[in-house]
Amino acid sequence: MSADLDARFRPFKVVAKVRESSTITSFHLAPLDRQHWQPFEAGQFLTIQVPQPLTGGYVVRNYTVSSAPSDEGKYRITVKREAAPTPGAPDGLASCWLHDTVEEGAIVNIAGPRGAFKLNKASNRPVILLSGGVGLTPTVSMLQVLATESNRPVWFIHACDGGAVHALDKEVEVLAASRAGIHLHYCYRFPSDDDVRQGRFHSTGFIARETLQKLLPLDDCEVYMCGPPPFMQAMYDLLSSLGVDGKRIAYEFFGPSSLLSPSQQRDTPAADTPIPEPVSDATDNGIEITLQKSEAKFAWDGSSVSLLSFLEAQGIEPSFSCRAGVCGSCLQGLVSGEVDYVEEPLDDVPPGRVLLCCTKPVSSIVLDL
């Protein structure tokens, strides 16, 4: 990791470590120098340096801020401990370090906040906050804003295995009770007898089409969703089948965005998908994306959030990891043309290279792909 990258991280102290469920813990982080705290928008994340004892270096991981933007001077991240899925496999490096090693008083290095998954506060449409597991971290932050700064109708829908792993539920319930127009629905996959006795959930199994039809104003709403990939795929398919415009569905998803296309499109074998024929007509904005190695050309439509998302929509899936200019996995050669960074990269980008995840073209470009 470069010295330039290290210089962008600031020391924060863990001022509180709070157990939220059997697998999820919150870390409250305050800067050693108050000037290093930066305002954020609900849905954005922090980037944290995680030490690697064997090499003496660091890896970086992103964690969504689960506290309210109005809670100035500190951040809260809420992290699930990712244990090894099978015996002999490694535990999650960053989450286990936070859970098992980092205690109150510890210093962690943070760069942030960043991310394009943000609540649109200018809109007056009803809001659906849809989450699975620890994916509730951005939706809780959004609910805090909606409960205190807006009268918009809100449906907070959360799915998890059961009460033992359900985090931040009491906080959510207090927010829901703070004003009229906030509706809660919890779906437990495996409710315990105690969950049943306490009436902690509203439905069981998986969130069903009938549940969404019964609960939601599907004609004109905005959806913000976050969760594990299978959950996201299922919810996107359900919402699409119910007529929700894809442009009204915002999501935080660390995977190929093409996985969120309707199931009938997702099931098409990638190996049978031909490379599109080169386009010859100029587009409305005159910008074309050319892939040098395949000689394919695409008309830039201007609606994609980044070059990465645009290429995924064409059936091409370049390497990536964070989708936010942090990890460098989507770094590609830029043969010609100019791009604009819609999200400032955490590290400097070498000349002749481009981070696909956080750029848009400002002219026709040629990529070394």
Q: What is the set of domains in the chain, with CATH numbers?
A: 3-114 (2.40.30.10), 127-265 (3.40.50.80), 273-367 (3.10.20.30)
What count of residues does the chain have? Answer: 369
What tens digit of pLDDT does each residue of 228-254 get? 988 999 999 999 999 998 889 998 865
The C-alpha atoms of residue 262 and residue 273 are separated, in whole angstroms, by: 16
pTM comes to: 0.79
Instruction: Give mean pLDDT in consecutive 10-residue pieces for the chain, a chain of 369 residues.
Output: 60 98 97 95 94 82 95 97 65 87 96 89 95 97 97 97 97 98 97 97 95 88 93 92 90 63 44 34 69 90 84 82 75 91 80 89 92
Q: pLDDT at position 85, please?
A: 56
Neighbour count for residue 272 (Cβ, 10 Å): 6
pLDDT of residue 282: 38
Q: What angle do CA 202, 182, 22 make, to 5 degrees?
A: 50
Looking only at the bridges linking them, the beta strands covering 10-19 and 107-114 are antiparallel
CA distances in angstroms from 134 to 67, 169, 225, listed in the order given: 14, 12, 12
State how far the Cα of 59 lies from the Cα of 228, in Å rounded to an integer. 22
What local confidence, expressed as pLDDT, does residue 16 receive?
Answer: 98
Q: Give the model's pLDDT for residue 88.
A: 55
Give residue 52's pLDDT.
84
Q: What is the pLDDT of residue 84?
A: 61
